[in-house]
Structure 1
Amino acid sequence: MTSRLTTRIHAMLERHLPEQRLFLKSDEGTRFLRLRPGTQAALIAGMGLFVGWTIIVTSIFLLDTISAGNAREQAQLEDLRVQERLSELELARDARAAEARLAQERFALAMDQVSLMQTRLLESEERRRELETAIDVIQLSLRDIRRQRDAVQTELATLQQELQAETGTTQTAASRERELARTLAYLTGALEDTAVQRDESLTRMAEAQSEVEELNFAAALAAERQERVFRQIEDAVAMSMEPLDEMFRAAGLATDQIIGQVRSTYSGQGGPLMPITMSTRGEEPDAMSLRANEVLAALDELNLYRIAAEQLPFSMPVRSNFRLTSGFGYRRDPINGGRRLHAGTDFAGPRGTPIHAGGDGTVIFAGRQSGYGLMVEIQHPFGITTRYAHMSRLHVSEGERVSRGDRIGDMGNTGRSTGTHLHYEVRRNGDPVNPMTFITAGRDVF
């Protein structure tokens, strides 16, 4: 049955593919190969399959190339938009910093004016009290002189009556009357001088009162200017504090705990500011001083936020053109296959691209480590560490202090890597977290 079917197939194929013979001539003789119709059909089918497979593979390769080109262009456009956004944010940050500096300068100038006005008010109050004391002394002197004058006049009248009773006339006491007259003239002159001094004191007191009123008016104007300055400073502090607080919350960090730790452990900078004025008489500070102290406390807290933000990895480790090739989370392993956790973020770029520290800290490892290749690990405060792997060259050594933005190495392809890129990790208390959480949180601030 099988041979009959085979014979029938050969007969059908022989109409289109007649049997061919391939002659092979050599020194020993001539031989030939028979190419039956079935064999020819198999060869033709094989060649057709090969050509079709080649066309399909070429088409897939061309489609992948076109798609990769479109993805590359989209990534470049996205990089340009990110760079433009970063430039705009840097300009906005510089503008806010300039506004804060101007507000602080205006605040210091207003405080100087307030101190000057307070000094002048105190001097005018002292002069007014001195004038009031002088007037009281003069009035007491006038009362004493009047009493003395009245006593002398009474005594004179008594003596005249006694003399008239003894002699019947007052002519014998002429010398005593002349002496009393001189005494009365002296007292009268003293009274006139005292009255002149009193009038002059009243005039000076009126002038002092007018000056006090002018100073009070100037103080009211200064208070109004201070109110405007205080409002501007308070608004500037609030505007500066809000994005920092949102940045810490977006990164999943407890701001109260961080600020408390910075306040208790940071030395040399960022300490609490002294009150603007203190009473030397044991009195309670006035409302303006209390408000100024509140502003200074807010500025101190803003400074603590800034210190904490500088120490944590909120900035990008790559500031040149790059391509984000792999994010944080589970993925297919690019070398061995299988689903595994990718504990960081990959930034691809040219070899030698500068790598920058994401925040202030201390280098706790700088060298070659299995899988990571050339790697730098930085210890930041609050249990945060960052790792920078697969670098081609290191610019820091173990134990070195680095600041946010310092160049710590160059991008490379060392260790377990398929191409030139940076593997960037952020770990909290040893556990990996998504680095883009910190970078995205700090994007509107740095």
Structure 2
Amino acid sequence: MQGVHSALERRFPEKRLFIRSDTETRFIRLKSETQAVAWLGATLVVGWTIVATAVLLMDSIGAGSYRAQALRDQMIYEDRLNALSAERDARAEEALAAQQRFATTLDQVSVMQTELLEAETRAHELRTGIDVMQTKLMEMRRERDAARGEAVLLAARLEEGGTGLPGDDMTGMLDLVAAALSETAEARDTIAADAAEALELAAEAELELRLLRDKNDEIFRQLEEAMTISVEPLDRMFREAGLNPDTLLTAVRRGYSGTGGPLTPLSFSTRGAPDADAARANEILDGLDRINLYRIAAERAPFAMPVRDSFRYTSGFGMRWGRMHNGTDFAAPIGTPIYATADGVVIEAGWASGYGRLIKIQHEFGIETRYAHLNQIRVSVGERVSRGQRIGDMGNSGRSTGPHLHYEVRVGGRPVNPMIYIRAGQDVF
């Protein structure tokens, strides 16, 4: 203790402060310890002032940098939205053009099927005519052979001289037989010429029918390739979204209430036999029906964005800090509108541990969406909401480190990456 006092005495020698009045003089003694305490207090005050000033300056600089970064992110996001909008418009134009081409192709198929039916009818008529001609020709040949036989018999009787017929009757009979033979020969030649012409027409009809079938096959092949290219991405999209396409389409078909119902199968055969073209056309119609059902399913599934104002993606679906993050986070100011991503029914709207103010919406096909950390809830339990309806405001409630929306998509109770639906809505629809 004496050593400490000596060290302080050398650094802060004892001082006296004299205070003098008219009648008396007083002094205040400043010990070394008192001076050390005063010096230490002043040093702490000055140091705290410097540190606080530095913190304020750094915070001001950081806030400026954050605002600049936010502006840059907003500009990048707006550019991305513009690019996606342009791409969506281009895809819509391509889809419209493809639909028009498909309608034109279907018209061509209809015309070609009519031509095929007409060609088949002509070929059938030609075959029937040929059969009739051949039957008549055979009858004429039999009559000719019989007439020749009678002529030979008469000639033999004449040579023997014992016909038993008067001379005039014999001459008339011979003239009649000769005329009949002449007519038979002419009829035979006419029928042979008609048969040759009919065979030539039948060959031409067969060639025309074969060419029409080849052209029809090429059109069907192009349509089948187009259907495959159109349907496979939709199948893959719904599978990645955690939905079974067959079960999904069955549910949509069971609840379908659109005008006209499913596409009616075609039948091109007039003879009751299986028709390969009809089967291929019906497969194409099945593909069109599948695309139409996918369109209905897409309108009922949560492919829309829950936030439409400027925002930042802050956390994605997956592991985060050693725990599973079951949704996607959208950061924006408090009060930013939150919208329903599909038609559905509100099954929960209130405070939930960790989620803060939470809204749960049940959609079709066993899909559920969750909207957490809200500042305000604008719907109630049991209420039916529509796609794009405002259901709440972004906030910072619950276990949250800043204003943001925690958005989840669950299929059959199992969390699915919401970006699968969001990207599908932007890229496909």
Task: Give the TM bin, normalised by the shorter chain.
Answer: 0.7 to 0.9
Task: Specify the alignment match of 2:345 in structure 1.
Answer: 363
Task: Specify the alignment match of 1:183 in structure 2.
Answer: 176
Tell me the alpha carbon deviations over residues 209-235 of structure 1, each in whole angstroms, 9 at most, x when there is no partner. Answer: 35425524xx42x44443443343333
Q: Letter of the aligned partner of 1:234 in structure 2?
A: E
Tell me the alpha carbon deviations over residues 14-50 of structure 1, each in whole angstroms, 9 at most, x when there is no partner. Answer: 59xx665799xxxxxx999887644652453243123
For 1:214 and 1:445, the matched residues in 2 are separated by 45
Residue 406 in structure 1 maps to residue 405 in structure 2: no
Residue 345 in structure 1 maps to residue 328 in structure 2: yes
Task: Specify the alignment match of 2:409 in structure 1.
Answer: 426
**Consecutive unaligned residues in structure 2, runs of 5 or more:** none
- 1:287-366 → structure 2 map (5 Å cutoff): 288-327=277-316, 344-349=327-332, 353=336, 355-359=338-342, 361-365=343-347
Task: Specify the alignment match of 1:378 in structure 2.
Answer: 361
Tell me the alpha carbon deviations over residues 64-117 of structure 1, each in whole angstroms, 9 at most, x when there is no partner. Answer: 314423431443244235424533552464255336424532541342133123
Tell me the alpha carbon deviations over residues 143-200 of structure 1, each in whole angstroms, 9 at most, x when there is no partner. Answer: 24324533553564466568x5599xx8xx2441354256346525643652464255
Q: Letter of the aligned partner of 1:436 in structure 2?
A: M
Q: Letter of the aligned partner of 1:323 in structure 2?
A: R
- 1:103-118 → structure 2 map (5 Å cutoff): 104-118=102-116
Q: Letter of the aligned partner of 1:129 in structure 2?
A: R
For 2:415 and 2:214, the matched residues in 1 are separated by 54
TM-score computed with the length of structure 1 as normaliser:
0.72
For 2:19 and 2:59, the matched residues in 1 are separated by 39
Count of residue pairs the alignment pairs up = 419
Task: Specify the alignment match of 1:13 in structure 2.
Answer: 12
Q: Letter of the aligned partner of 2:12 in structure 1?
A: L
8 Å CA contact retained: 1:391, 1:422:
no
8 Å CA contact retained: 2:349, 2:380:
no
For 1:113 and 1:42, the matched residues in 2 are separated by 103
Residue 132 in structure 1 maps to residue 133 in structure 2: no
For 2:335 and 2:215, the matched residues in 1 are separated by 56
Tell me the alpha carbon deviations over residues 360-395 of structure 1, each in whole angstroms, 9 at most, x when there is no partner. Answer: x42134755567787653323342201235265748
- 1:256-267 → structure 2 map (5 Å cutoff): 258-259=247-248, 261-262=250-251, 265-267=254-256
Note the C-alpha offset of 1:276: 3.8
Q: Letter of the aligned partner of 1:69 in structure 2?
A: R
- The 3 A distance-change label for structure 1 pair 139 and 207 is same
For 2:178 and 2:19, the matched residues in 1 are separated by 169
Q: Secondary structure at the match of 1:317?
A: coil
8 Å CA contact retained: 2:369, 2:410:
yes
Identity of aligned residues (%): 30
**Consecutive unaligned residues in structure 1, runs of 5 or more:** 24-29, 333-338
Q: Letter of the aligned partner of 1:132 in structure 2?
A: I
